[in-house]
Structure 1
Amino acid sequence: MKIAIIGYSGAGKSTLSEKLSNYYSISKLHMDTLQFQSGWQDSDREWMLTEMKNFLTKHESWVVDGNYSWCYYEERMQEADQIIFLNFSPWTCLFRAFKRYLTYRGQVRESMAAGCPERFDWEFIRWILWDGRSKSTKERYKWVQETYPKKVIVLRSQKEIDHFLENLVHNKKNQRA
């Protein structure tokens, strides 16, 4: 099983990735752990491309969360058995990111690079509400949905994520019965 999780910042990609990795017992990669170095410095792109290629090559099954359109994006979408697009509203993403900040303030989440403590500043708020929702980003999400309609699952709320996860467990129980 290969799963690509894409979507807007604050939607819950890393949390869902963690749950699916545990459920299927497959390797996971949070792309933010590659994108950033200590102090929120951007990684060298060549290094990140090499690390991503190594991960995809090394693992037969995986879940990768993150967008980064320049980093084997089309290859990830093509290879994935399932593409989950978390298409939450900007305000929902902002609320979720703020809740995450309150939970992890001053700490480094497991899904983030070492030396990058949780933050919530105007730059990030602007990214969540506007900059991260550019026309090209929206077109890329549309392209994925049109190119891979049979393997894209669009989830628009926490309720839909919960329902999706419940169905996994329910279907697994039915397979054993």
Structure 2
Amino acid sequence: MRRILIVGSAGAGKSTLAREVARRLGLPLIHLDRHYWRAGWIPAADGDFRSEVAALAARPCWVMDGNYGGTLDLRLPRADLLVLCDPPRLLCLARVLRRRWVHRATPRPDLPAGCPERIDLQFLRYVWRYPARSRPRIIAALAAAEPRPAFLRLRTRADIRAFLATLPAEPPPARRPRP
């Protein structure tokens, strides 16, 4: 596995899982939120973001986390594995509230500078509606992808532990350049 795409609701654990998978496999980590948002929560222009995502997806290896359904067509054909983090929505809601509290004074590592953690009613609605609205779109995009990556759906902590158990516990040793 050289290109792993991790998607799921806010609060599903995408970024945490992506960091651990990237560490264990020694792969570059790409948080799409860092590429989409500008300081002050200003979104990137659609065309610019699609171009940037296409360039990121074209890299030879990565672990990439983020939904951004408008770019799944660029990422899925390049991915070896799609991981859907899919815990219950009440757990996702609890996690986003906890995350807001934890990062009330410090920036999140998966967000760009100038984007402090925030929660509003629209965001909470997005989390609540994710299973009915966003998850089916991801499944449909996966079905339409050509080539289609392998698919793994993680619903529980036990699922996550089982997946991580298939990966090395430590990253591979750094390769030395050949003379």
CA distance in 1, matches of 2:33, 2:149: 27
Aligned to 1:99, the other structure's residue is in SS state: helix
The amino acid of 1:64's aligned partner reads M
1:138 to 119, 135, 140: 135
Q: Which runs of no fewer than 5 residues in structure 1 stay unpaired?
A: 173-177
Aligned to 2:31: 30
Q: Is the 8 A contact 2:5 2:82 kept in 1?
A: yes
The code of the aligned residue for 2:20 comes to: K
Could you tell me the percent identity over the aligned residues?
Answer: 28
For CA contacts below 8 A with separation 6 or more, give which structure has more relative contact order: 2
What is the match of residue 166 of structure 1? 165
CA RMSD of aligned residues (A): 2.2
Q: Offset of 1:120 from its aligned partner?
A: 2.5
* Contact 1:37/1:116 (8 A) holds in 2: yes
Mapped contact 2:79–2:149 kept (Cα < 8 A): no
**TM-score, length-normalised on structure 2?**
0.83
Q: Classify the secondary structure of the residue corresponding to 2:69.
A: coil
When residues 111 and 150 of structure 1 are mapped into structure 2, their CA distance, relative to the original with a 3 A threshold, is closer
Q: 1:85-134: per-residue Cα shift (whole Å, max 9, x none)?
A: 1112210101111221222113221111211111233232122112x445
Deviation at residue 166 of structure 1 after TM alignment: 2.2
Distance 1:27 1:106, change over 3 A: same
TM-score, normalised via structure 1 length: 0.84
Look up the equivalent residue of 2:18 and give its one-letter code. S
Q: 1-side partners of 2:125 and 2:105: how far apart?
A: 21
Which amino acid in structure 2 is aligned with residue 105 of structure 1? R
CA-to-partner distance for each residue in 1:12-44, whole Å, 9 max, x for gaps? 111111111111111121111122111112111
For the residue of structure 2 that corresponds to 1:29, the secondary structure is strand
